[in-house]
Every structure is written in structure tokens, then in C-alpha cells.
Amino acid sequence: MIVSYTHADGTVESVSTDDLSAIESAVIESATGMEWDAVDTALRSQNPTAMRAVLWVNRKRSVPTLKFSDFDLAGWKRRTKARLEYPEICDMVEVLYRETREPEELDQMCGYMRTLAHEPADVDRALKELDPKAPAPAAAPPVQAEPVVVPADSASEPMS
């Protein structure tokens, strides 16, 4: 998952859970009181505590003394999101392709996955890789460009 927070000035701070160390993942488990599988599920549900914990651990890389209890995300509901990355999409598409019998149902599920994907075109890419002979899925809706991403090591100011 990619967890991102859009600052008031439009810059985006983001982190992939694939880039977390085992220690950082354990710190997230401790802070949230959830096992990692539950954190992953919570991220898919846009749970504010799980998203906040991932961003907090990322921020702690540059501000080691930052406490979870002091770390807040102003306007979190509008400005924070967790999105699927390509490997997760591939896993989901494989299961859907195997278990879905009706093309319309597959199109509907893939449309939903596009809304949860960091890169919506990854859903179509995963479908094409799974079955190169498959008909093209329903067209993906146009996607607005994301704001500029701020590297984790340069984002040491408090979130507002």
C-alpha cells in the first residue's frame, strides 16, 4: 500500500509499506495495537489510525523523537489516503479472474479496484499480463494528476 498525506500547500508526503523495515512494521503494530494483517486490512479501509501510524513511522526517520501521540494529520479525511500498489493489484486480479464467472462482474470489480489503485492503469496491466488473449476490460475513468511528492527525508516539518 502507498499511504499519502497532502499538505495544505499541495505537496504530498507518501510512503510505501513495502519500504518499511521489520522494526518499523513492529513499531506500527505496537502503536496501533494491531497485528500486521489487521494493519493491512485497516489501510484498505482507509482507517485513520493505521494511515497515521505509517506516516508517523516514515516521519520518525527524520525526526526520531517524534511521539505517535503528538503526530496528527489535519484534515485527514480529505488529505490522507491509502492506495493499492501493483503487486497487490496483481494478486487481487488473479483471484478475481479465477473466481469470477461473468465478464460484467469482473469489469465491475476491476472498476472498483481502479478507484483504490495508486495507478489505476495497473489494473488493466495486471489483467493483460494474466491473460494476454483476454478482451480489453471496460475503459478506466480519467485520472487527475497527483500533486508533487515530497521525499520522506525532506519532510520534517509538522503536518498541518
What is the full DSSP assignment across 16-37?
EGGG--HHHHHHHHHHHT--HH
What are the distances in angstroms from CA 91 to CA 58, 85, 86?
Answer: 26, 10, 9
d(C-alpha 9, C-alpha 3), whole Å:
18
Q: Are 51 and 13 in a shared domain? A: yes
Check residue 150 and give its pLDDT: 47
Same domain, 8 and 73: yes
pLDDT score at 156: 41
Residues 45, 25, single domain; the answer is: yes
Do 44 and 77 lie in one domain? The reply is yes
Split into its structural domains, the chain has a count of 2
The reply to whether 78 and 7 lie within a common domain is yes
Cα pseudo-dihedral 56, 58, 64, 66, rounded to 10: -10
Place of cell 499541495: 10
- Rounded distance, CA 47 to CA 81, Å? 9
Inter-CA distances, 138 with 74, 86, 122, 123, 142, Å = 37, 19, 14, 11, 12
pLDDT, position 135: 57
| One domain for residues 27 and 63 | yes
Structure pTM?
A: 0.72
Residue 118 is part of which domain span?
86-130
Same domain, 54 and 66: yes
Q: Three-state DSSP class for 49? A: helix
Read off the pLDDT of residues 67-119 as tens digits, 9 standing for 90 and up.
Answer: 999 999 999 999 999 999 999 888 888 888 788 777 788 888 888 888 888 88
Measured between alpha carbons, how far is 66 from 63 in angstroms, rounded to an integer? 6
Same domain? For 37 and 107 the reply is no
